[in-house]
């Protein structure tokens, strides 16, 4: 075991093993190589009196305890069972059995991850695996399945993801309802629906420009062409309104399907298929992509409505200026897109963790 650790951490580890690993530095470097992660905050400059030992050196023991704590936390990250771990006091007091039990469990995980291990050490790990944890540690309870030992922090992340997804999709749905009920009032034209944009028409306040516009409008006789243009403009706005309703209904259904897929994904993350090497999840980028498409579609829809309205005003020859600004519904959709982004990141973190666990599901079965 000492030779294997020395080869991994590239540092000489000499027996007795507990004394060489007492500062926790070599353990952190070992778990970094096995787990493929970087551990931050490791105290590498621990100094203590060899005659007194680490157990009687207060400051050095405190730093060593922090290092061992980082090592144990990283062990949970590569799914080493809690009954296989030792406590810092067992390491400082020289409990070689508990330390060796943990290291052999790490050897089995390292073998699954492709780390080179000698045949003798692997045989020892296989033999030790056949010893029940209750025989080695009588005070330990029987191990529970992994999916039943989730910590409160994991449940908190999953609950937060569900809240973000539900809130985001409901916000998008509310935005569409608000956008469909939103009206744009233009003086002399009427009120029309333009979805996610607020469009206002302000007549010129310049008396000369207003007088010229009035003279021009007064000189225009109510010919059939005028009424025909007015009817065509109304038909164009009516077509736009109908298209907007169709798009709103379509995207509303998409929101419902998106919410359903998010709930399905949460269920799959809660109960991963641990007996197979490939796990199929609903993609976590789906909330992000759908929300982005909704915002882009709302913008295109609004710009189309503004263009139609400007053409209508231009055809009627009215003097005024057109101002367009995003409505409340548009900003609600942006907020919903952000919430879905946060939910996708949180769920992606747990999906990565469960994919890693599902990639190596047979740690207990391989050496049974």
Q: What is the CATH number of domain 2-143?
A: 1.10.418.10
16-51 pLDDT, tens digit per residue, is 788 888 888 888 888 888 887 788 888 877 765 554
Do 107 and 4 contact (CB within 8 A), yes or no? yes
Q: Enumerate helices (H) and strands (E) in the chain, giving the number of each.
A: 14, 4
What are the start-end ranges of the H helices in 22-151? Answer: 25-35, 58-77, 88-92, 96-112, 119-129, 133-136
What are the structural domain ranges in the chain? Answer: 2-143, 152-366
Q: What span, in angstroms and rounded, lies between the C-alpha atoms of 185 and 189?
A: 8
**Greater pLDDT, 260 or 323:** 260
The sign of the CA dihedral 78, 81, 84, 85 is positive
pLDDT score of 320 more than 80: no
224-270 helix and 328-359 helix, angle to the nearest 10 degrees = 30
pLDDT at 98: 86
Instruction: Categorize the per-residue pLDDT at 141 as very low, low, confident or very high, splitting at 50, 70 and 90.
Output: very low
Tokens of 232: 């065509």
Question: Tokens 């050490």 — which residue?
Answer: 121
**Greater pLDDT, 335 or 99:** 99
Q: What span, in angstroms and rounded, lies between the C-alpha atoms of 319 and 148?
A: 71
pLDDT at 361: 39
Calculate the CA dihedral of residues 176, 179, 181, 183 and round it to 10 degrees: -170
Do 39 and 28 contact (CB within 8 A), yes or no? yes
Secondary structure letter of residue 3 according to DSSP: H
169-193 pLDDT, tens digit per residue, is 555 555 555 444 444 444 444 444 4
CA-to-CA dists, residue 36 to 42, 131, 142, 176, 356, angstroms: 16, 28, 29, 46, 12
| pTM (global) more than 0.75 | no
Q: What span, in angstroms and rounded, lies between the C-alpha atoms of 260 and 254?
A: 10
Largest CA distance in the chain: 111
CA 112, 113, 116: angle at the middle one, nearest 5?
Answer: 90
At a CB cut-off of 8 Å and minimum separation 6, what does 35 contact?
74, 77, 78
77-94 pLDDT, tens digit per residue, is 887 887 888 888 888 888
Q: What span, in angstroms and rounded, lies between the C-alpha atoms of 184 and 148?
A: 55
Rg (CA), the chain: 34
Of the given ranges (30-44, 132-146, 152-166), which has the lowest mean pLDDT? Answer: 132-146
């Amino acid at each position: 075991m000492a030779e294997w650790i020395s080869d991994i951490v590239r540092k000489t580890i000499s027996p007795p093993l507990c004394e060489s690993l007492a500062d926790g530095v070599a353990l952190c470097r070992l778990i970094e190589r096995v787990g493929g992660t970087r551990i931050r905050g490791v105290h590498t400059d621990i100094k203590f009196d060899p005659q007194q030992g680490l157990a009687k050196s207060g400051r050095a023991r405190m730093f060593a305890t922090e290092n061992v704590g980082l090592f144990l936390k990283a062990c949970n990250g590569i799914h080493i069972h809690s009954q296989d771990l030792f406590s810092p006091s067992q390491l400082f007091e020289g409990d070689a059995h508990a330390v060796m039990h943990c290291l052999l469990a790490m050897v089995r995980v390292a073998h699954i991850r492709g780390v080179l291990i000698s045949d003798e050490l692997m045989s020892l790990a296989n033999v030790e695996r056949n010893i029940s944890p209750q025989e080695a540690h009588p005070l330990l309870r029987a191990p529970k399945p992994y999916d039943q030992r989730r910590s409160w922090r994991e449940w908190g992340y999953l609950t937060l993801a569900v809240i973000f997804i539900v809130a985001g999709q409901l916000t998008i749905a509310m935005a569409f309802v608000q956008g469909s009920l939103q009206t744009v009032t233009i003086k002399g034209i009427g009120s029309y629906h333009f979805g996610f944009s607020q469009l206002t028409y302000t007549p010129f306040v310049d008396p000369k420009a207003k007088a010229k516009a009035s003279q021009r409008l007064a000189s225009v006789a109510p010919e059939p062409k005028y009424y025909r243009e007015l009817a065509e403009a109304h038909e164009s706005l009516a077509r736009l309104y109908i298209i907007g309703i169709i798009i709103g209904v379509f995207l509303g259904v998409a929101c419902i399907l998106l919410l359903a897929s998010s709930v399905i994904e949460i269920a799959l993350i809660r109960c991963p298929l641990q007996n197979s090497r490939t796990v199929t999840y609903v993609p976590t980028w789906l909330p992000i992509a759908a929300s982005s498409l909704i915002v882009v579609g709302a913008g295109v829809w609004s710009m189309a409505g503004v263009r139609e309205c400007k053409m209508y005003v231009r055809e009627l020859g009215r003097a005024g200026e057109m101002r367009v600004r995003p409505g409340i519904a548009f900003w609600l959709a942006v907020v919903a897109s952000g919430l879905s982004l946060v939910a996708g990141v949180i769920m992606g973190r747990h999906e990565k963790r469960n994919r890693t666990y599902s990639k190596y599901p047979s740690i207990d079965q391989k050496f049974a």
